[in-house]
Structure 1
Amino acid sequence: MALMLPLALLVALLVDRAFGEPPAWMHPVVGMGRYLGWFRLTRLPAPLAFVAGALAWTVAAAAVVFIALWLEGQVLLSLQPWLSPLRLAGAAVLIGLLLKPLLAWRMLAEEAMAVEEAMAVEAALAESLGAGRARLSRLVSRDTSALTDTEVREAAIETLAENLNDSVIAPLFWFAIAGLSGAALYRFANTADAMWGYRDEREWSGKWAARADDLLSWLPARLTALLIARPSLRLLREARRTPSPNSGWPMAAMALRLGVRLGKPGVYTLHADGRQVSSDDLHAARTVAWHAVVAGAALIALLAWTLRS
């Protein structure tokens, strides 16, 4: 039984690499987003908006955990994997297939590289830059309409690093800790933060969601950073430059690993004495991120095995 979760983790990553994302109609994260999109809590007074947002988050989180526990339980009850290696392998495959939609490495890498591909179009600079901005806008919430080609590439690398944690390492970490329900709860919390956690008219309704994501991402974000770059006092200092308590860690680690300067205009700069991002750096960032996925999966699989041995 101790091998089931590590094997399921491997199955999920292999399926992700081979096939990518399932159709939207059967994707659990898409369903989470639709639920979150139903709510328009911004017209409420601040205290009521906070309570309503917390209640809407908690009800859905409980439902997500219940469904994940039920599905995992059905696999275990039907296959009874403790009875034979064949049953164990079957259970690992099924749970791995259930885990797959809760992580997304292939889509993340493809979307990040599509930004560079759009920038490299054989066209006038203004046209290729516009194509790069348009591709980037699918990945980030910031306004991309006035970004330079360097800023577009910086933002794409930052997004790749940040979502390496959000879309891969953190779901796998919580899967190792709490099984399918842990991964599902994390992806719901992260999706809620992405949709509600803004410092605008949504601030109070999304405050609970933002804090929940901060809490659940705290350890995985630091693990992701250490998978990208060596631990150092410089990494600690750079990671603290962003407003987020967590996203600065993988982004700062990537900046230091590549030796480049990254930043969001008017908000923060990471590795300010690094060189300017070039057209080759997104490819290098993808390679670094892929190595982090492999190393992280091995480490987290060992953690899952150790916890259940």
Structure 2
Amino acid sequence: MTLILAMLLDAALGEPRWLWSRMPHPAILMGRAVGWCDGWLNRGSARRLRGSVTMILLGLGAIGLGALLEELGPLVEILVTAILLAQRSLVDHVAAVGDALRLSLGDARLAVGRIVGRDTAAMQSSDVARGAIESAAENLSDGVIAPVFWFLIGGLPGLLLYKITNTADSMIGYRTDKYREFGWAAARFDDLLNLVPARLTALLIVASHAIWFDWPAIAAEAPRHRSPNAGWPEAAMARALGIALSGPRTYHGILTDFPYVNDSGRKDIGAPEIDAACSALWRAWAGALVLVIVLVLVFH
């Protein structure tokens, strides 16, 4: 019941600005913890070992904090869980890109730049829409379904373990000279924790759009993605909307020619497809909520 109420609370309220303008969001605190470990341990030799120690320390701290918060009662547990879910804020951010695209391409580039890591200065309308929809699909898995899954598995300690791992991966899990060794453990552990949720997210998208006949194509395309997990929700979203995702994009001034996902889908896309992606986010979320309710009824 805790998870059901938390999902509903997050969907209704999202991220209240009045609260987070007065105090740091838990994600900010997690980022500070990862940054402190980065500054303290990412130096000298044996950096892969140091990065592994970092993840052990962060993971144990997250599990311990989760156990402590659980002892404070169900109200605290519901509030913390709702805060760590991101359904409403994800939909709001993606929808904002569609709204901006209706105003001007410049506004849209600024809006999509808040949710993607690629270069946006030369994006055309279809590039903006693809970026927003890809972010929607990937963050549905990372920000909603995976936290729900790990709460079901391990309660608040499981949820916090997932969130600190995902935060660490987003900060140090890069194949750069600075982080290739130190961030190895964060990246690999994040891949492991997202293994099931990413595929579950794809199943929820497929089920909520009744496109089971597309599953073989999704399963064939997903492993071609540069990420071992992100390809699953992205391939499912592409098929659900009948569009092509991924494709060429620019990072730090360098054009990378990624293959399209669902190459036969529409490539000339815009605000209407972003709206459809937001609808898909809610449909998948509703499917997840129904699944959680069924599990609660069966096991409790």
Q: Normalising by the residue count of structure 1, what TM-score does the alignment of the two structures yield? A: 0.85
State the Cα distance separating 1:16 from its structure 2 match.
1.4
Equivalents in 2 of 1:130, 1:193: separation in Å?
30
Equivalents in 2 of 1:187, 1:241: separation in Å?
26
Equivalents in 2 of 1:60, 1:304: separation in Å?
30
Which residue of 1 is the match for residue 253 of structure 2? none
Among residues 176, 188, 193, which one is paired with 1:200 in the alignment?
A: 176
CA contact (8 A) 1:41 1:52 kept: no
Specify whether residues 117 and 18 from structure 1 end up closer, same or farther in structure 2 by C-alpha distance, changes over 3 A only.
Answer: same
Which residue of 1 is the match for residue 64 of structure 2? 66
Q: Which amino acid aligns with 1:227?
A: L
1:16 pairs with 2:10? yes
CA contact (8 A) 2:168 2:186 kept: yes
Write out per-residue CA displacement over residues 58-112 of structure 1, whole angstroms, 9 at most, x where no aligned residue: 212111110111111232xxxxxxxxxxxxxxx3x44211211111111111111
CA contact (8 A) 2:130 2:245 kept: yes
Write out per-residue CA displacement over residues 225-263 of structure 1, whole angstroms, 9 at most, x where no aligned residue: 011114421011111121111000000000001000111
1:119 pairs with 2:116? no
Equivalents in 2 of 1:169, 1:301: separation in Å?
14
Equivalents in 2 of 1:118, 1:170: separation in Å?
29
CA contact (8 A) 1:176 1:303 kept: no
CA contact (8 A) 1:172 1:297 kept: no
Which residue of 1 is the match for residue 89 of structure 2? 107
Among residues 197, 218, 223, which one is paired with 1:220 in the alignment?
A: 197
State the Cα distance separating 1:40 from its structure 2 match.
3.8
Among residues 271, 276, 294, which one is paired with 1:302 in the alignment?
A: 294
Equivalents in 2 of 1:243, 1:43: separation in Å?
26
Structure number with larger C-alpha Rg: 1
Structure 2 unaligned segments of length 5 or more: list them.
249-256
Query: Could you tell which deviates more after superposition, 164-173 or 53-62?
Result: 53-62
State the Cα distance separating 1:218 from its structure 2 match.
0.5
- Taking the TM superposition and a 5 Å limit, the aligned residue runs for 1:78-93 are 91=74, 93=75
Q: Which amino acid aligns with 2:278?
A: R
Aligned length: 279
CA contact (8 A) 2:85 2:147 kept: yes
In angstroms, what is the RMSD of aligned CA positions? Answer: 1.9
Percent identity of paired positions between Structure 1 and Structure 2: 39
CA contact (8 A) 1:238 1:252 kept: yes
- Taking the TM superposition and a 5 Å limit, the aligned residue runs for 1:245-256 are 245-256=228-239
Equivalents in 1 of 2:47, 2:197: separation in Å?
29
Among residues 111, 114, 120, which one is paired with 1:144 in the alignment?
A: 120
Which residue of 1 is the match for residue 216 of structure 2? 233
Q: Which amino acid aligns with 2:13?
A: F
